[in-house]
Amino acid sequence: MLDAAFSMKRKEFKIPLFIRKKYKVIGRKIMNKDIATIVPENHDSALHIIYLHGGAYITQGSIIHWFLIKKILDSVKCKVTYLDYPLAPEANYKDTFSMISSAYSQITNKYPNDRFVFAGDSAGGGLALAFAQSIVKAKKLISPSGLILLSPWLDLSMKNKEIKNYENKDVILSSKSLIKAAKMYSGGDNLDSDLSPNQEYPCL
């Protein structure tokens, strides 16, 4: 499935009808990418989740992500902001961090009294952690009060020796395809290296 994703055409960003009909949705574009803040009716929480979808940094979010967001909205009754961040091969991690940094700055300015938590699955989980680390290093944006990481992809080098034990059991991902995706997302930078703290972007 991941191999097929390399040849998929990008689809127009759309918020599902079951989200738009039930909740207040505030959409905007940042650096030509979409973000959407979804607010449940009679929400009673200062919690505001910033959600970053998975997809190996090359595929767009799916309907599964929206079902998860609906579950959060109904059970926690907090705001959720979904970021349709830049993907490889059209963009690399520097473009992605630039966009989400701009988006987060605008969101925190718009909702100054909210308590922010970063959440993400797979590649989105790895991105959520890396972005949180970048905020701590730069000290220019509001640090999140928590992280929710669902099976985060944390090591783009894929050097864990145990990976081969699961290769034949995984019907979606292969290490070969993941390495290909990681190299696209890295923009040619070494997958093992951290970037210098005095650079604008954090480690992969």
Q: Is 159 inside any structural domain?
A: yes
- The tally of domains found in the chain comes to 1
* Interatomic CA distance for residues 179 and 155, integer angstroms: 10
Q: pTM of the prediction? A: 0.91
Q: Is 93 inside any structural domain?
A: yes
Per-residue model confidence (pLDDT) at position 60: 95
Give, for all 204 residues of the chain, the pLDDT tens digit: 677 777 778 899 999 999 999 999 999 999 999 999 999 988 878 999 999 999 999 999 999 999 999 999 999 999 999 999 999 999 999 999 999 999 999 999 999 999 999 999 999 999 999 999 999 988 889 999 999 999 999 999 998 889 988 888 888 888 999 999 999 999 999 888 653 233 444 433
Range of the domain at 150: 2-9+16-186
Q: Is 112 inside any structural domain?
A: yes
Q: Is 181 inside any structural domain?
A: yes
Q: Is 39 inside any structural domain?
A: yes
| Phi then psi dihedrals of residue 116, to 5 deg | -95, 140
| Phi then psi dihedrals of residue 146, to 5 deg | -170, 170
Residue 152's domain is classified under what CATH number? 3.40.50.1820
Q: Is 204 inside any structural domain?
A: no
Q: Is 198 inside any structural domain?
A: no
Q: Is 193 inside any structural domain?
A: no
